[in-house]
């Protein structure tokens, strides 16, 4: 997370609808998938607004955001309350949240060694989960 101050967000009908929809989902969802779900539920939110709100919620730490195998951003309600990373199965999409203190120390040291401040990072490890490896 950044040490920069958070920009206060207006609470709009669209933001409330997107937040409520994210509460009902257990897995990562793309912006277009969420947009389709909202419209199926009769919630009129433009695709551009959906993109903007999801990005904003991820920036605020309310959602996890990562890139799927196709490079598309996907989002999920954040289950962990602290900074964390993900293991992702390339085959089935299973995601495991992990804490990695060694990664945190490494990132802080590399940033400091190079004079960087207010550093952010993400680590996503792709592989095959035990079930897909066994198949």
Has residue 7 got a pLDDT over 90? no
Has residue 1 got a pLDDT over 70? no
Highest-confidence segment of 19-28, 68-77, 85-94: 19-28
φ/ψ of 134, rounded to 5, equals -75, -25
**Binding residue positions for Fe cation:** 83, 104, 121
**Binding residue positions:** 83, 89, 92, 104, 121, 129, 132
Delimiting residues of CATH 1.10.10.10 domain(s) in the chain = 1-79
pTM reported for the whole predicted model: 0.64
Average pLDDT, the chain: 85
CATH topology of domain 82-135: Dna Ligase; domain 1 (3.30.1490)
Has residue 2 got a pLDDT over 60? no
**Pick from 87-96, 110-119, 124-133: least confident:** 87-96
> Given this structure, which CATH class describes domain 1-79?
mainly alpha
- Reading phi first (left if > 0) and then psi (alpha if -120 to 50, else beta), residue 92 is in alpha
Summarize pLDDT for 35-67 with one digit per residue, the tens.
Answer: 999 999 999 899 999 999 999 998 888 888 888
Can you state the angle between helices 47-59 and 31-40, rounded to 10 degrees? 120
Delimiting residues of CATH 3.30.1490.190 domain(s) in the chain = 82-135
**Binding residue positions for Zn(2+):** 89, 92, 129, 132
Instruction: Give the position of tokens 């095959």.
Output: 128
């Amino acid at each position: 997370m950044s040490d920069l101050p958070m920009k206060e967000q207006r609470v709009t009908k669209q933001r409330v609808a997107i937040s409520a929809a994210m509460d009902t989902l257990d897995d990562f969802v793309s912006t277009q998938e969420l947009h389709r779900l909202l419209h199926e539920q009769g919630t009129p939110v433009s695709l551009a607004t959906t993109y903007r709100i999801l990005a904003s919620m991820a920036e605020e730490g309310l959602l996890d955001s990562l890139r799927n195998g196709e490079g598309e951003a996907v989002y999920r309600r954040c289950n962990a309350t602290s900074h964390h990373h993900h293991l992702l199965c390339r085959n089935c999409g299973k995601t495991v949240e992990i804490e990695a203190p060694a990664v945190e120390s490494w990132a802080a040291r590399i940033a400091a060694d190079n004079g960087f401040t207010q550093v952010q990072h993400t680590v996503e490890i792709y592989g095959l989960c035990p079930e897909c490896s066994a198949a």
